[in-house]
Amino acid sequence: MTDMTAPEQPFRPVGLVNRLAASTRFQAFCARVPGLRGIARREGAALFDLMQGFVQSQMLTALVELRVLHLLADGPATVDALAQRAGVPADRMGILAQAGAGMGLMLRRGTRYRLSRRGAAFLGVPGLADMVRHHSVLYRDLADPAAFIRGETDPDLARFWPYVFGATGPMDPEVTARYSRLMADSQGIVAQDALRMVDLKGVGQLLDIGGGTGAFLRAVRARYPDLSLALFDLPDVVAGAALPADVARHGGSFRTDPLPQGADAISLVRVLYDHADATVAALLAKVYAALPPGGRVLVIEPMSGGAKPDPQTDVYFAVYTLAMQTGRTRSAAEIGAALAKAGFTQISTPKAARPYVTGVVEARKPALPKDRAK
């Protein structure tokens, strides 16, 4: 047993390269040598970025809440002009504007600031500003990160998404609206990336399970106008779905209700990572039973990098799903294994252009042998 009262031992990293990297003398040497100087500077800046990450996210929140980026969308402005329009003291707006420029969201020219390409792109992503506002819940949950990782906290984020705990009755209208709005805003870009990775030609009917207000199905309809579509989600959510009249709507919970029959392809867009392994296994078994032989299932969500940790999904999404207390961010290999256990075959993982937006795992229910199909 380790003696917790003993003096802390000097830190000696394993491996020659790590021992050199941890040496202050070697760091000083690198800072003086051309060729090594640039590496040392980049590594130092990267470490500082890790340390200041929370401050950056909070200043981004301030830029969103005060609508500074939105104000600059109308054209360049001075600090005084921004301060007056945002209702902030000019000296404090000066600090925020400098921070925004330092993060690359704004550009400074003399005494005026204007929107950068990154800032314009931020405003152009549907729902991104709302997601930033929503992060205040997650930040509260991470106020004591060590206690959070030990599992000693009671995260508010779990109560933000009551459906993950199996809520099946009528939901609070405000909760429903909040859930539906965030789902709709963020699923548009997910749908765009996913539909670049999969081909739905030859599909007769697509059933989207847990599809919220139908953002994914609307994107599918735009690309495949002749494809029959159906939505399955909680009754209160389905009732508010903005979908064409010919899209079938099925209200229910996949935990307790049978899945609709008749679709030869089923999509699960950002569903599995909201739920525990047992819930996922039960859902995939239901999906397998609902599909005809040869039917396809599409799992669409951000995925862990697995053996090769991903800088976005293994930080942001893994922590977010941990705070929800019911789900977790799985790797494509883990999802493939769960699909195989449910009986699916021909499991494939198309290469994702932006893993932090979404990944895809596709599989098929085995077709009947030819002699049995006759």
SS (H, E, C) 266-335: EEEECCHHHCCHHHHHHHHHHHHHHCCCCCEEEEEECCECCCCCCCCHHHHHHHHHHHHCCCCCCEHHHH
Query: In the chain, which residues fall in CATH 3.40.50.150?
Result: 138-373
Residue 254 near residue 279, CB atoms below 8 Å: no
At 208 the pLDDT is 97
Model pLDDT, residue 1: 41
Return d(Cα 202, Cα 195) in angstroms, integer.
14
Kindly report the number of other CB atoms within 10 A of residue 290's CB atom: 20
Q: How far is CA 186 from CA 41, 54, 170, 172, 229, in A?
A: 36, 23, 24, 21, 20
CATH topology of domain 138-373: Rossmann fold (3.40.50)
> Could you give the C-alpha distances from 226 to 191, 200, 339, 366, in angstroms and in order?
18, 11, 28, 26
Block mean pLDDT (10 aa), the chain, length 374: 48 60 63 68 77 92 96 96 97 97 96 96 85 88 95 86 54 57 72 94 96 90 96 88 92 93 96 94 98 98 95 93 92 98 97 92 90 54
Residue 275: predicted pLDDT: 92
Per-residue confidence (pLDDT) for residue 16, from 0 to 100:
58
| Residue listed under structure tokens 């200041």 | 52
pLDDT recorded at residue 6: 47
- CATH 1.10.10.10 region(s) of the chain? 19-124
Amino acid 2: pLDDT: 42
Q: Which CATH class is domain 19-124?
A: mainly alpha
List the one residue out of 231, 229, 224, 232 whose CA is nearest residue 202.
Answer: 224
Model-level pTM?
0.82
